[in-house]
Structure 1
Amino acid sequence: MEVRDEERRKEEEWGTLEERVEIARRRTQYDQSEEARELFEKATTALGQKEHEEAERCRRRSKITWFKEGEAPSKYFFVRLKAKQAHEEMTALQDAAGRIVEERDEVLETVHKFYEHLYTAEIETEEMVENRRKVVERIDRRLTDEQNRLLEDTPSEELITRIKLIGKDSRGVIKLIPKNERKHLLQNWRPITLLTMTYKIIAKVVAIRLKEMLPGLIDTQQIGFVAGRNIIDNILSLRIGQEWAQVTDQDVIFVKLDFMKAYDRVAHNFLWDTLRAMGMGSETVGRIQGLVEGGKSEVHINGSFTEEFSIGRGVRQGCPLAPLLFAMTTQPLMRALREEERNGNIQGLNIGGGHSLLHQLFADDTGICITAEEEQFESLKEVIQEFESASGARLNLQKSVVMQLTPRQHPTWMDEAGCEIVGAGRSFKYLGVSTSSPIDEKTITEDIVQKLMRKLKHWSNRLLSWPAKTILLKHVLAATPVYQLMSVGLCKDGLEELERLCRNFLWGWNKEGNPKHSLIAWERIAQEKGKGGLGWTSFRKMADALNVRLVGRILEGGNTEWIQLARSFILRTLRKGSYQREHIQWTLAECLVLLPLTRVEGSPTLTRIMGSWYRARKRLGWNESTGELDGRLSMLQVKTLQQLAKGGGISSLVIGKELGLLRRMGITSLEEAMEVSRTRGWRQQLRDMGSFPEEGALASLAILEEWCSSQRIVRKNLIELEGWQWGSDRRPFKWWRPTSEWRQLLAKEVNFDEKMEEKWQRQSQRLR
C-alpha cells in the first residue's frame, strides 16, 4: 500500500512540474518581462533537477539489480546477453529479374510475388496422377481399427463444428528468419507462420493423437519428429558406416539430397492419398483437410505487411501438425528406395547380418548410400524424379553433395552428375556436423573450437567478474560442444583444447594478450562445490557420460543401422583378437558387460565409446562389508548402473546388498569381478573352495541361474566363463553332473531344500 502511495505521489509531483514548465513557457510568449523569464527558468531547473534525481535513482536501482541477479543464472542475466542481438531486417532484396531492390514498396511486392508463386498449386497432368498412384501404392504400413477409433474420437461436438475454419481463424502471418548471411536471396529465408490460438489448439489435439502412432507408420530410417528416434542415429550411422566401408573395402558413395522449399511444395492431393493409403479414416482425413486447405497468409517485413495470398500447397511451418504430416509424406520415397534395392537396381552399404545402410532421413534432410556405379546413380535419379512428379517436391542438384565413403579417385561419370563432389581435403555439413572422406578429426575439432572462440571473443571484451564467468562457463560454454560429443565425439587433443580455452577465459589475459597463469589447478576447479570446486563438469567426463548412453542404446537392442554396424565391428574384433575361441558365441550384451573391449579394430568412433564405457565401469565399487556402493553416486555412475542393468541382470549383483560369493572372494568392485571372471583366478578360487572339476563348476553355476538370481548372489551372465560352447538352441554341447562337494558348497550359499533337489535332477536329466 505504501509503495502504491509513493508511486502516486511521484506521478502527481511529475505532473505538477511539467504543468508549471508548460504554463511558464506559454506566459513567455506574450509576456516578455523579467519576472516571466525567471519563472520559466526556475520551473525548467526544478524539472531538470527532478530528472537528474530520478536518473540517479534508476542507476542505483540498476546496479543493485545487477549485483543481485546479474551474476546469477537468472532470467535477468540471460535477457541482457540477448539484448544486443541485431534485429533482422530485409534492407535489400534480389527480385525475379535479378535486380537488387531497396525501396519499401518494391521489397514488399517482390516478397509477395515470390510466396504467392511458391504456395500456388501446380496444374496436375495425367502423368502426375499416375505417378502419385504408383508411389502411394508402395505404402505397406497401416493404422489399425483401434488407432483409427482413437484418432476419430473427439473431445466435444464444439470441436467438430470448428474444424472447418472460416474467416480469420485460418489466416496466418509469415515471419521470415534468415538461414545464412546471404540475406538478399529470398531462398535463404525460412518462413514461419504465426497462426491463431483457435487454429493451434485444434491442430494440437490432432497432432498429439497422431504422434503416438507415427512409429508404426514410418520406417525407422526417418528420424525427424517421430517419438523415440534421435538425430544422433543418422550421424553415427554415416560415421561408423564410413569406417566399415574402409575396413571392408566397399566402393560406396554417400549422396546428400537437397530439396528446395520441401515443406512449402507438398502437393495436397499427394498428402491426402498418403494418409488414406496408411489406413486413416475419412473423418480424420477430413479434419486435417479442414486445417490445411483454404488458408491465407501475408508476410510481415520490416514492420509492414504484404498483400494477402492463398495457400494452395505445402504444410505451414508453425502449425503443430506440419512436421508430422511432412514425415508421413516421406514414407513413399523410402518404400520406393527399398523396392529398387530388392530389384537389384541399387545397392546400399552392406553392414553385415543381412542388413544394409541405404537411406536415412531427418525431415527433408535425405542421405543415400549406393554403390559407386553410374547405372545405380541413374536408377536413384529415376526414383527421385518419380517422387517429384507425385509429391510436388523439387530436387536442387547444384546444392546436393556426393562423397565417396572410401578415399579413392572418383569415377569420371560423377563430374557430369550435376552435384557437388566432396573429395579429399574437403568437407561439408551433414545435420550440423562436419563430414569428410577420409574422416578428419581435425576438421571437426576446428569447427567447435572456432565456435567457442567466437563466443569467448565477444565476452572477453567485457569486464566480467569471477561469478559471471563461472555462470557462462557452466551454462553456456559447457553446452556448446554437447551436440558433437553426442554424435561423433572429439579426440583427446580436441577435448584438451576446449578446456584450455575455458581455462584462459576464466583467468583472463595480461596486457600483452597472453593468458594469465592459473592460480588453481583445473582439476580442482572442476570438482564439486562441496569439495572446493566450481561444480564445473569437465569435457572428458561429459564425453564419457554421453558415450555411456550410447552403450545403453546398444544393450537395449534395436535395428538402427549404427547398432547393426557396432555388432559387426565387435564380432569382427572378437574373431581377429584373443577372444576368438572363447567369446564368439556370446551375445553382444554379454560382450559389452563382461569383456574389456577398450579397442574396436577399424573403428575409432566405437573405440572412443568403448573407452568411456570401460572408464565408467571402473569407477564403480562397493563396500566389502555391507555390499553397498561407496559414496554418493554421480550422474555418470547412475547411468552406468542403468546400462549394466540392461545388459543381463547385473543390477542384482551391483545394487543388491547380498553379494554372497563375491564378498567371500574379496572382490570389492564391479570391474574386479569382471576381471576375475575373465581369468583363471575366478576358476582357481572356485576350485580352492571345493574339490571338483573345473567344467563342473561352470555347469552347476549355469544350471542354478534362477535359484542364484532369487538369492542375489551371482547371475549366469557374469559366470558363463570362457571356452563354454553353446549350440543353436543355447544349450551346452557337454554336460557334467555336479559332485557332492560342489553341491555342499552351494548349499551354504542358497537354501538347498528338497524342491531344489528335484529341480536340479530334472534340469540335469534334460540337459545331459
Structure 2
Amino acid sequence: MISDLKFLSLNVKGLNSPRKRRLLFRDLKRKSANIAFLQETRISTTAAFRLADPSYSRVFTSCAIPKRNGAAILLHNSCPLQIVDVYSDSAGRYVLARGTCSSKWYTLMSVYAPNGPDAGFWADLSSFLRLHAKGKIILGGDFNATLCSPLDRSGHPPHAGLTSSPSQDRQFHAFVRNHDLVDIWRVQHPTTKDFTFYSPVHSSYSRLDYFLISPDSIPLITTSGIGSITWSDHADVFLHVRPLASGSSGQWKLDPLLLLKKGVRKAVGSALDSYLLLNDTPDVSIHTLWNAHKAVIRGVLISQAAYHKRVKLQAIVTLQTDLRRLELRHKRVPTDDTLAQLNRVRADLNGLFLDDVGRSLLWSKRRYYERANKADTPLARMLRPRHRTVLFPLIRDKKGQVHKSPEAIRDAFTEYFTNIYNHSPTHEIGNRDLIDSIEMYLKHQSLPTLDKVQSILVGSPITEEEIGRALGLMKPLKAPGPDGFTYRYYKAFYPKLKPILCRLFNAAREGAPFPAESLLATIVLLPKPGKDPENIDSYRPISLLNTDIKLLAKILALRLDPLLPVLVSPDQVGFIPGRQAYDNTRRAADLVWFAETYQRPSLFLSLDAEKAFDRAEWPFLFTLLKHLGFPPTFLRMLSALYASPGAQILIPGADRIPFEIRNGTRQGCPLSPALFALFLEPLLLAIKSDAGISGLTVGDLEFKLSAYADDVLLSLTDPPTSLPRVMDLLGAFSALSGYKINITKSEALPVALTAEAIANLSSSCPIRFTQSELVYLGVRLTSCSADLYSANYPRLFATLKAELECWNKYAISWLGRLNCIKMNVLPRLLYMFQALPVPLVASEVIALQRSIDHFIWAGKRRRVARHTLYRPRSLGGLGLPSLFTYYYATQLAQVVAWHAPAGSRRWVDLEASLMRPNKIHHWIWLAREHRPLITTTCPAILNSLRLWHRLAVKCELTSTPSPMTPIFGNRDFRPGLHVRPWRDLLDSGVCRILNLYHNGTLIPLQDVSGLSFLHIFQLTSYATQAHIKQAALAPPTRFERLCLAGTYPRGLISSLYRDLTSLLDWKELSYI
C-alpha cells in the first residue's frame, strides 16, 4: 500500500548552527516529511549549500545576501515530483518550485511574510504567483497574519469583523481572495481554535502559519493538522496528500547501523543458532535451508529495529503527548500554572532533542576528526558532485512514444530491457544447430586452452578460506539486492554462516541450481554523461544482485584472474591483471604518428557496441568456455548463476515487475568483466588472423586492433578492402553471439586518406568520419600528432582549475586540502601522463601548480614554503605532489616497461620495431659515445629518451658504465656488432656485462656451445678490462633491478616518485 505524501511547513528561526540543522533534519525524518517548506532560515546566499542532506538532496532556496529572512523548499529523495522550474526573489521572502508528476503540473511555494503591514510585498507576491504558477498550487509559510482574527487569535472579540483586524491581516485576506486560495486546515476544522505561535510578551496565541491551496487541490488532501511548539518558536503545520503517483511501498534492506546497537548481534546470533539446530537436517535441501534462513533472520532484524525505535522514541512520545495536552489546555484557559507546566515539559522535550543531536554531532565530529583530513570516504564524498536522485519526468521509447507516469515509464523500460535480455528467443543452449555452428566457428580460431593443472584448480571444490578472502574484498556498505542483506551481515556472522555457504556453493558445483528468487536482481538506471535523459537508451543498467550470489561470482572471478593473461591476447587490456588502459592509448598515438609520417592511408575506427555486456548470449559463452578447457565443475557453478535469472526495474513511484533474462553478463556482477573479455576474444582473433583485413605493419609486426572491454579501436590500411571484410566478420560473430555494433554511432579518424577515398567509404559504410580528433579511453587522438597536447592537456588543466575553485568554498582543513590533491587531482593527471607520451608545456604546468597552492592555502597568504610541503613526510614535509616529478616518474615507469618480454605489451613491441635495428632496452644502457644513431623520430620514444638522458645520472638511476650495458651492438665491443656468431651465447641468456660474472668470477665461456676459441678470447679480453669488470661487479641500482625483472610491479610510479624525491638535497628545516 502506498502511503500519503506529507507536506510540512515550519518557521525554523535560523539555521546557521550545525546543531540546529541536524535537529531540523532529524525532526523531518522523525515526522516522515516528504516535502518541507521552511521560513526564516537566515542563511546567506553563499552558504545555501549547507541546507543539503543525503535524504533531502533537492533543495530550493531564496536567500538574502545578509543573514536574514530566507525561505526554502526541501524534497525527500522518495518524492516522485520532478521539479522543472525554480523561481525566487532576492530578499529571501519566497521561493517557488513547479514540476510534474504523472503528466500533471504542481506549484509549490514557501513564503515568509514581513512582520508588519507591507502593501508592496503583497503586491509583488501576487504578481509573482500569477506569473509563475502552473497547475495545482500548494503554498506553505509563515504569513505573519491571520485570515480570521476571532478564530485565529486568542483574546480577540468573537464577533469582530475584518475591518477591525490589523492592516496586515486585511492585506493577507485580499491576497488569498484575489488568487482564490483555500485555507485547507480551516476547511477541515471549521470551528476549531488552534494556533501556531505564542507571544510571551503579549501572552497571546495566533495562527500565523498556513497551507493555502488552489480549489482543484482539495480532493488531494486527506488530513491536515497543527503540531506542537518544540525547538522553534512556531508550531509546524502539515498536510497529508494522496499519492501523486502509485507505486511500491519500498523494499526492506538491512540498516547498516542496526548491527552496532546493543544486544542486536546477540539476538540475531541466538536466532541463527536455533534455526540451524532445528532445520539443518538431512531431509532439508541446502537451498531451502539457506533461503528460509533469510526470511527468519529478516523477521528478527525487523523486530529488533522496531524495538530499538520504540525504546528510543518512548520518552519523546510521552513528552509530546503531555506537551500537546498542556498546549490545548493553555490555549483554552491561559493560566500561569499551565504555562509553567507547559514550559517545563517543552524544556524537557527540547533537552531530549538536543541530547540526541549532541550525541549525533559528537559522533560526526569524531568521525570527521579521524577521517575528514585523510584520503578516505568522507573527503571523497565532499568532492564529488552533489547527489541527485534519478527521476524520470518523461521517457521517449524507441518508437518515439512519450511516457510520463511512473507506471508507464516502468513498463517502457521493462519492455525495452526485456527485448535486450531476450533478443534471440531461439538461441538457447538446447539448440543443437546453433551449438554446432558455434563450435565450427570456434574451431577456425586459434584459441588457447587451459592445461590440466589450471583446469583442476579452477574447478576444484570451494573452500571456506576462499569464501573468507572474497568476503574480505567486498565493501560492507554496497547496496544489497532484493533480499536486503548487506555484506555487513555476512561479515558479522561469518563464523556461523561459512559452513552453510560452503555447502551452498559446492552444491552449485555439483549441479544444483539456485532458486529463481535468489537470482533476481534490481536494476538501477544511471544516466550516461552527455546523453539526452529523455531517451530510453541513455541509461546504463546496474544490477543489484543478492549478496550471496555476488559472493560466489567473486570467488569465480578470483579464480579466473590469474588465467586471463593466458587466455586473452595482449591486444585486450580491460580488467586483465597486469594490463592498463594506457597500453592501448600510447600504442594508438604511436600508430597515428606512424601512419601520418609515412603517409600510410589508414582508418582508425572506434566501434560503438550496442549494450555490449547485456547482449552477450549464453550458448556462445558456455560453448566458448568449454572450448577453452574449463572443466564441467566450473561450468556448473557458472550455470547455477545463469540458470533462471530475473530482474526488476527500480522506478520511483512504481511497483517493480520482474521479467526473465536470457542473455547478457550483468553489469554489477564481479564476474562480468572477465566473462566479457573471454567472450570478445574470438572476434578479435578472427579479425587479426583474417588475411583480407590489413592493419598497420611496422617491421614484421601488424597492428589491427586494440580493446578495453567494449571499447574496440581498429587500425586499418587499405580501407576499401579491409572495412567491408570487418563488417562481414562482425556480422558473422553477431549472428552467433548476440554482439551488435551500432555502425551509425561508430566513429572513424582517417589519416593520409584523400577526400575522394573518404567520400567513397562514407557512401559504402554509414560510419561517422571525423577529420580532427577521435576520443578513445578518455584521450583525444588527433590526425596530426603535433596536436595531441593541445587537444588534451589544456582541457584537463581548465577542468581541474575550475574544480579547485569550486572546492575552495568547502570547509576543508589544510591537511584535507593536501589530500584532495593526492586523491582526486593527481590520479587524473597520472592517467594523462601515461596515456599521452608528449612533452609538457612548462608554463601551463606551473600555472596549475599555482592553482593548487591557491587551493591549499584557501586563497590566503602562504605560510609555509612550497619546497617544504614537497618534502616527504619522513623528512618533515607533507608530501605535496610535485607535478613535474610525477611526470618524470611516469615516463621512467614506461622505460621500465620497455624491458617487458616480447609479446606481453603490444606498445612495447611497436616501439621496439620502430627502433630497429637497435634494441631500445639495450640502447639506453650504452654510454653515449658508444650509441649508434637513432633511426626513428617517434615522439613517444624521443620524449622518453630525452627524459632518460636528463635523469639517468643526475638521479642516480644508473652509473657509467652500467652493469646493464649490453655486450652486443656495443661499439666498445666491436666483435659483438655482428650478432650472428654469438647466437648461442644470447640464447643462454648472456646479453649484458653483468651476465658475464657469477659470484665475482667470469663464467666459463668454453661451456657455451658454438663459440670458437677466437670468440672466447675476444669476449674474455673485453670482460676483464678494469672498467668493464668493475661495472659488471657493481651492484645494480634499484632502477636497474626493476628493469632486469622485466615486470611492471604494482605501485611502480609511486615508488619511482619516492626515489626521485629522496635524491633531492633536503636541507635541515628551521621553523624559527
> TM-score range, shorter-chain basis?
0.7 to 0.9
Distance in 2 (CA, whole Å) between partners of 1:547 and 1:741 is 33
Q: Indicate conservation of the 8 Å contact 1:258/1:365, yes or no.
A: yes
Supply the AA of the counterpart residue of 1:149: I
- Quote how far apart the aligned CAs of 1:745 are: 7.6
CA distance in 2, matches of 1:743, 1:321: 56
Describe the superposition over 1:674-723 as per-residue Cα deviations: whole angstroms up to 9, x where unpaired. 99999xxx989xxxxxxxxxxxxxxxx999976744229x999xxxxxxx
1:672–1:336 CA distance, 2 compared to 1 (3 A): closer
> How far apart are the structure 2 equivalents of 1:675 and 1:502?
40
Q: Partner residue of 1:649? A: none
Q: Letter of the 2:396 partner, please give it.
A: Q
Q: Which moved more, 1:740-749 or 1:129-138?
A: 740-749
Query: Given residue 736 of structure 2, which amino acid in structure 1 is its aligned partner?
Result: A
1:563 lines up with 2:911 in the alignment: no
On the 8 A contact 1:244/1:565 being kept in 2, the answer is: no
Superposed displacement of residue 212, structure 1: 2.5
2:952 is the counterpart of 1:617: yes
Please give the per-residue CA displacement for 1:372-395, whole angstroms capped at 9, x wherever unaligned. 431221111111111111111211
* 3-state SS of 2:418 partner: helix
Partner of 2:84 in structure 1?
none
More strand by share: 2
Matched, 1:154 2:436: no
Match of 1:143 in 2: 450
- What is the letter of the counterpart of residue 570 of structure 2? T
Over the matched positions of the two proteins, sequence identity in percent amounts to: 19
Change (3 A) 1:562 1:733: farther
Indicate how the Cα distance of structure 1 residues 743 and 711 shifts in structure 2: closer, same or farther if over 3 A, else same: closer
SS at match of 2:393: coil
Q: CA deviation at 1:84?
A: 3.2
Deviations, residues 132-179 of structure 1 (Å, cap 9, x unaligned): 344222233222233332233223665342441113111111112222
Deviations 1:402-449 (A, max 9, x none): 1124476453212222111111xx323201211121132101112311
Q: Which residue of 1 aligns with 2:218?
A: none
**1:136 partner amino acid:** L
After TM superposition, give the deviation of residue 260 of structure 1 in Å.
0.1
For 1:711, the equivalent position in structure 2 comes to 1000
The reply on whether 1:173 has 2:514 as its aligned counterpart is no
**TM-score, structure 1 as length reference:** 0.73
Choose between structure 1 and 2: higher helix proportion. Answer: 1
Residue 289 of structure 1: aligned partner: 639
Q: How many residues align?
A: 643
How big is the shift at 1:528? 3.0
Q: Which amino acid aligns with 2:698?
A: I
Deviations 1:588-618 (A, max 9, x none): 4321222558988422222222233334422
Higher relative contact order (CA 8 A, sep 6+): 1
In angstroms, what is the RMSD of aligned CA positions? 4.3
* Alpha-carbon distance in 1 for matches of 2:527, 2:607: 21
The answer to whether the aligner puts 1:413 opposite 2:720 as a matched pair is: no
Amino acid at match of 1:227: P
In the alignment, what sits opposite 2:72? none
Shift of 1:314: 1.1
Deviation of 1:63 after TM superposition, in Å, equals 6.7
Structure 1 pair 9/205, CA: closer, same or farther in 2 (3 Å)? closer
Cα deviations across residues 267-314 of structure 1 (Å, max 9, x unaligned)? Answer: 222122212222333443333222213111101123644311000111
Equivalent positions of 1:292-691 (< 5 A) are 292-302=642-652, 304-341=654-691, 345-352=692-699, 354-406=700-752, 409=755, 411-416=758-763, 417-423=765-771, 426-439=772-785, 440=787, 441-462=789-810, 464-489=812-837, 491-493=839-841, 494-507=844-857, 522-529=866-873, 533-559=877-903, 560-571=905-916, 584=918, 587-595=919-927, 601-621=936-956, 670-671=959-960
Letter in 2 for 1:250: R
Query: CA shift at 1:316, angstroms?
Result: 1.3
CA distance in 2, matches of 1:739, 1:110: 80
* 8 Å contact kept, 1:151–1:284: yes
Three-state SS of the structure 1 residue aligned to 2:871 is coil
Secondary structure of the 1:42 match is helix
Partner of 1:34: 335
Q: 1:522 offset after TM fit, Å?
A: 4.2
Equivalent residue letter for 1:456: L
Q: CA deviation at 1:253?
A: 1.2
> Could you say which residue in structure 2 is the equivalent of 1:279?
629
Structure 2 counterpart SS, 1:168: coil
Q: What amino acid sits opposite 1:395 in the alignment?
A: I
How far residue 473 of structure 1 moved from its aligned partner, in angstroms, is 2.5
- Residues 449 and 627 of structure 2 are in contact (CA less than 8 Å); yes or no, is this contact kept in structure 1? yes
1:366 is matched by which residue type in structure 2?
V
Q: Is the 8 A contact 1:543 1:612 kept in 2?
A: no
Q: Could you tell me the TM-score, scaled by structure 2's length?
A: 0.54
Note closer, same or farther for the CA distance 1:527–1:418 as it changes in structure 2 (3 Å cut).
same
* Letter paired with 2:416: F
Structure 1 pair 247–547 and aligned structure 2 pair: CA distance change class (3 A): same
Aligned in 2, Cα 1:463/1:231: closer, same or farther, shift over 3 Å?
A: closer
**CA–CA distance in structure 2, aligned partners of residues 385 and 149 of structure 1:** 36
Q: Deviations over 1:345-387 (max 9, x none)?
A: 11110021x2110111112111111114312211111111111
In structure 2, C-alpha distance between the alignment counterparts of 1:670 and 1:730, rounded to whole Å: 30
- Residue of structure 1 equivalent to 2:33: none
Residues 305/606 of structure 1: CA separation in 2 closer, same or farther (3 Å cut): farther
Distance 1:465-1:145 versus aligned 2 partners, 3 A rule: closer
Does residue 1:119 correspond to 2:468, yes or no?
no
Cα deviation, 1:738-760, whole Å, max 9, x if unaligned, reads: 9999989899989xxxxxxxxxx
- 2:546 corresponds to 1:196: yes
Q: Distance in 2 between matches of 1:96 and 1:702?
A: 63
Aligned to 1:650: none
Q: Mean alpha-carbon deviation: is it higher for 58-67 or for 467-476?
A: 58-67
* TM-superposed deviation, 1:42: 2.4
Looking at CA atoms only, which structure, 1 or 2, has the larger radius of gyration?
2
Equivalent in the alignment of 1:630: none
Alignment partner, residue 274 of structure 2: none
CA distance in 2, matches of 1:747, 1:103: 82
Gaps in structure 2 of 5+ consecutive residues: 1-261, 263-309, 463-501, 974-989, 1032-1072
Task: Tell me if the contact between 1:173 and 1:297 (Cα under 8 Å) persists in the aligned partners.
Answer: yes
Q: 8 Å contact 2:645–2:661 — kept in the other structure?
A: yes
Give, in angstroms, the shift of residue 539 of structure 1. Answer: 1.3
Q: 1:11: how far off?
A: 8.2
Distance 2:605 2:1020 in 1: 63
Structure 1 residue 463, shift from structure 2 partner: 5.5
- Alpha-carbon contact 1:119-1:314 (below 8 Å) kept: yes
State whether structure 2 residue 407 is matched by structure 1 residue 105: yes
Q: Distance in 2 between matches of 1:535 and 1:620?
A: 19
Query: What amino acid maps onto 1:461 in structure 2?
Result: K
Q: Is the 8 A contact 1:177 1:190 kept in 2?
A: yes
Residue 183 of structure 1 pairs with residue 529 of structure 2 = no
User: Aligned pair in 2 of structure 1 residues 361, 745: CA closer, same or farther (>3 Å)?
Assistant: closer
Distance (Å, rounded) in 2 between the aligned partners of 1:349 and 1:231: 20
Structure 1 unaligned spans of 5+: 510-515, 573-583, 622-639, 641-668, 685-700, 717-727, 751-768
8 Å CA contact 1:138–1:335 kept in 2: the answer is no
